[in-house]
Amino acid sequence: MQLAKKRAKVERLVENKVSFAATDAELSVYDTYEPSHGVKLAASEVLFCAMISGKKVMHVDDCNYHQAFLPQQSFVLAPQQAVYIDFPEASLQSPTSCLAIEISRDKIAQVSERMRRHDDDLIHYQDTLVHTEHNWQTQHCLSRLLHLFTENDPNRSYFIDLAMEELIARLLQQQSRDLLLTVAQQSPDRSGLHHALNYMESHLEEPLDVDKLCKLSCMSRSRFFAQFRHYFNTTPQQWLQARKLNHAKQKLKQGIQVTAVSFALGFKHPSQFSRAFKQAFNISPKAYQNRFLASGKNDYLRH
């Protein structure tokens, strides 16, 4: 494959770069083969990064951010925002590898405009750092983009454009939902919906109580469901389930047993939790925990 041949030609041991260009984006794969510290990375456009293997530690001084970056995670830098990277585990036998896509702000603005509803000011790009975990849709989109960028399909540009629009849309949705949730946690009295969201986030282990949420939000049942779907494109029950599973990831990373995580988040039985987790992330809770604790490798870059 074209990608494998290019990656085999190692010209530098730290951030050896292989790139593929398209109209509104450039995809690069970075491989690092020796431990290093304080390596600077920045771009003139939005930079979306996805870890492939190994571990990085990212330092962004302008927002006092210092966190590990691991497989199955995304890290999005705003234009001109600099990140300084440590590679504590890189070696010739086990390189630290990362996928990076530089995305035109004009393209992001186009997608944002098409997504924004006439009274919804949330769906637009915020110039802030984003560090999140992939869901299966984002993972599938990345795998498809990698294939499209690195193959010589005669319709390559058209298909890349479609896949990029999907990736941008999913990033905008995630960022907008995170923003709304942050506001709800910091200022729960800002609106009825913020009050309800904050209550749900604070009571993840409890069953969904729609009547209570309607009272907190000062809305009728039909209006509450309509507002919730308007901002989250899902139902309150689906949202609560997704929040539980995201919190489960954090607990699993801490080494907490699957059964304990299940009961802590209000699942009736560990098997119910395991089914829901695997359906959401295409991996069992135990396998996810083992992969994280071992800093395992992603498999979507095997070409």
Do the domains spanning 2-182 and 235-303 agree at the CATH topology level?
no
pLDDT of residue 118: 43
Dist CA 119 CA 233 (whole Å): 15
Residue 284: half-sphere exposure toward Cβ, Cα within 13 Å: 10
pLDDT of residue 185: 63
Joined together, the tokens standing for residue 1 give: 């494959």
Dist CA 237 CA 302 (whole Å): 37
pLDDT of residue 242: 86
How many CB atoms are closer than 10 A to CB 280? 17
Q: Please report, for the chain, the start and end positions of each structural domain, with discontinuous segments joined by +.
A: 2-182, 189-233, 235-303
Burial class (CB in 10 A: 0-12, 13-18, 19+), 145: buried
Dump pLDDT digits (tens) for 35-69: 999 999 988 888 889 989 899 999 987 777 888 88
> In this structure, what DSSP letter does residue 61 have?
G
Alpha-carbon distance values, 221 to 210, 224, 227, 228 (Å): 8, 5, 10, 11
Give this prediction's pTM: 0.66
* pLDDT of 296 strictly over 70: no
- Overall fold of domain 235-303: Arc Repressor Mutant, subunit A (1.10.10)
Q: Taking the domain 2-182, which CATH number applies?
A: 2.60.120.810
Dist CA 24 CA 45 (whole Å): 10
Task: Report the sign of the C-alpha dihedral through residues 265, 267, 268, 274, in that order.
Answer: negative
Nearest to 48 by CA among 148, 141, 158: 141
Dist CA 298 CA 169 (whole Å): 23
Joined together, the tokens standing for residue 101 give: 């896509």
pLDDT of residue 100: 93
